[in-house]
Structure 1
Amino acid sequence: MAHLPLVAPSVLSSDFSRLGEEIKAIDAAGADWIHLDIMDGHFVPNITFGPEIVKAVRHVTTKIFDVHLMIAPADPYLEAFAEAGADVMTVHAEAGPHLHRSLQHIKKLGKKAGVAINPATPESAIEYVLDLVDLVLVMTVNPGFGGQSFIPASVEKVERVRKMIGMRPIRIEVDGGVSAETAPALVRAGAEVLVAGSAVFKGDPAGYAANIAAVRGVRGSV
C-alpha cells in the first residue's frame, strides 16, 4: 500500500489575528507540517511576516516548521529564520545568483534544505544542486497570493522532477491550488508533501480535520 502524503497547511490562509490558535487547531486536526510563507513584496507581490513572528509561534506546536522563503535576497536572513525555529528552509532557484551557496548555508545551520521552482522555471535549473537538498518544492501556481487556481501542467513537471531525483532521499512538495480535487494526480506523479491553504482553512476550525483528511485522500475516517 502506498504511503499517504504529508499535509502541510499554509498559514497564509489562516486568520492572522489568531495565528497561534490557528496553528494549534491544525496541529490537533492532523497536520503533519506547518507551512510558513515568507513574502517580501519584492520577489513576490505581497508581504507577510518575518522571523520574529515565526519565533513567536514556535512554542505552540512541536510539528515541523516548513519555512518557504519567497524573498530576494534570501541569504542575509537564513540565520535569523534558523534561530527563530525553522526546521525546513526552502529558497527559490530564481531568487539569487548563488543557489548552491544558499543551500550550503542552510545545511551548515543544521536545517533541512529545500529548493523551489516557479511555474515558468524548468526543472533543469536545480539539476546540479540535487545532492545538497532534502526537498524540492514545485510551485503549482505563481507565488505571491493564496487562493489561486491550480496550473494543470504542474503534474507533468512533478513527474519529471521525480525522475530527475532518482534514488536520492529527497521529498517532493507541491504548493498552490492543492485541494481534494487536485491532490490525487499530484500524488500519483510523485508529490509527497501537499501544501494546502484555503482547502484547509475554510469553515469553522472544527472542520479542519475533515479538510486535512480530504486533501490527504482519506474520506469518512474523521
Structure 2
Amino acid sequence: MEKLLCPSMMCANFASLKKEIKDLEEGGIDIFHLDVMDGSFVPNFGMGLQDIEYICKTAIKPCDVHLMIENPSKYVEKFASLGAKIIYIHPEIDPHACRTLQMIKDAGAKAGIAINPGTSFETVKDLLHLCDYVMLMSVNPGFAGQKYLDFVTPKFKKFVDEAKNYGGYDVMIDGACSPEKIEMLSKIGVKGFILGTSALFGKDKSYQEIIKELRGL
C-alpha cells in the first residue's frame, strides 16, 4: 500500500518557507499538514492564517488543515476558501461534529476527524460514514517533540479493521511518528503519516533521501 507522507509544516524553517515547500515537493511528499491551535482547546498556538494561506497558494501538492480549536464549524468555510483540501476537526470539542463534517464536504474539501489518545472507537463510530480520513493522535495534541503513547497502537488496528464497514476512510497517524513507527503501523494498514522532527525535519540528510527511505519501510 502506497504511503501518504505529510510534513507537519509547524516544524519547517519559516525563514525560508518558499524553499522548504519546493524542497519538500521535490523530495516526494504527498500532503502538507497545517496545524491550527487556539490556546484554548490545546495549550498552545499554531500557525497563523497568513502562513496557511501562503503555503496553500505556493504549494503544488494539496494541503490539509488540522483544527485544534473550539467551534471549528465557524471556520470551515474560511479554511476551505484559503485552499485546504482536507479539514480535520476534533469531535471531542464539537457537539455537532456530524453537521460540521457535512459542512466540510459542502465546502468542497475532504472531511476528517482527529482523535485524541483517550478517545475510543465507540465514541466516534457514528461519525465515520462522513469521514474520508481518520487521524489518530499518538501524543496529546498541542506540542511537538512528545513521546509516542504505546497504548494507542491497538486503536490503530481497530480503526483500520473497521474502515471497510464505514465507506473506506484512510487511517493516519499524527504524533512522534518515527521511522520505526512508520514501519510498524504501515504493516497493519495505516495509510498516512504526519512527519515532524521524529522522522523528517532537522536531519543531516536531504528531504529527498529521507522520503525515499521512509517509502522503503
Which category describes the TM-score, using the shorter chain as reference length?
over 0.9
CA distance in 2: counterparts of 1:154 and 1:216, whole angstroms: 23
Give the structure 2 partner of residue 66 of structure 1.
64
Change (3 A) 1:119 1:188: same
1:117 maps to which of 97, 115, 118: 115
- Displacement of 1:4 in angstroms is 2.7
Q: CA RMSD in A?
A: 1.5
Within-5 A mapping of 1:16-95: 16-95=14-93
C-alpha deviation, 1:58, in angstroms:
2.0
State whether residues 56 and 62 of structure 2, in contact with CA within 8 Å, keep that contact through their aligned partners in structure 1.
no
Task: Number of aligned residue pairs: give it.
Answer: 215
How far apart, CA to CA, are the structure 2 residues paired with 1:37 and 1:211? 22
User: 1-side partners of 2:89 and 2:209: how far apart?
Assistant: 31
Residue equivalent to 1:208: 207
Which residues in structure 2 correspond to 1:62-211 (within 5 Å)?
Answer: 62-167=60-165, 168-198=167-197, 199-203=199-203, 207-211=206-210
Q: CA deviation at 1:12?
A: 1.3
Q: Does the CA contact (< 8 Å) of 1:114 and 1:135 recur in 2?
A: yes
Deviation at 1:16, TM superposition (A): 2.2
Instruction: Tell me the CA shift for residue 213 of structure 1.
Output: 2.7
CA distance in 1: counterparts of 2:154 and 2:79, whole angstroms: 32
| Distance in 1 of aligned mates of 2:215 and 2:153 | 16
Q: Which deviates more, 176-185 or 57-66?
A: 57-66
- Deviation (angstroms), 1:24: 1.6
Post-superposition shift, 1:143? 0.7
How far apart, in 2, do the equivalents of 1:138 and 1:127 lie? 13
Runs of 4+ in 1 over 6 A off after TM superposition: none
User: TM-score, normalization: structure 1?
Assistant: 0.91
Query: Are 1:44 and 1:70, in contact at CA under 8 Å, matched by a contact in 2?
Result: yes
SS at match of 1:182: helix
* Cα distance in structure 2, aligned partners of 1:67 and 1:60: 15
% identical equivalent positions: 37
* Contact 1:118–1:138 (8 Å) recurs in 2: yes
Q: Matched residues in 2 for 1:125 and 1:93: separation?
A: 9
Structure 2 spans left out of the alignment, 5+ residues: none
TM-score by length of 2: 0.93
Contact 1:155/1:185 (CA < 8 Å) preserved in 2?
A: no
Give ranges in structure 1 of 5+ residues lacking alignment: none
Local SS of the residue matching 2:67 = strand
The answer on whether the counterparts of 2:10 and 2:47 sit within 8 Å (CA) in structure 1 is no
Paired residues of 1:179 and 1:215 also in contact (CA < 8 A): no
SS of residue paired to 2:179: coil
Q: CA deviation at 1:154?
A: 2.1
8 Å contact from structure 1 (residues 117, 123) kept in 2:
no
- Counterpart CA distance in 1 for 2:181 and 2:152 is 10
Q: In 1, distance between residues paired with 2:173 and 2:36?
A: 16
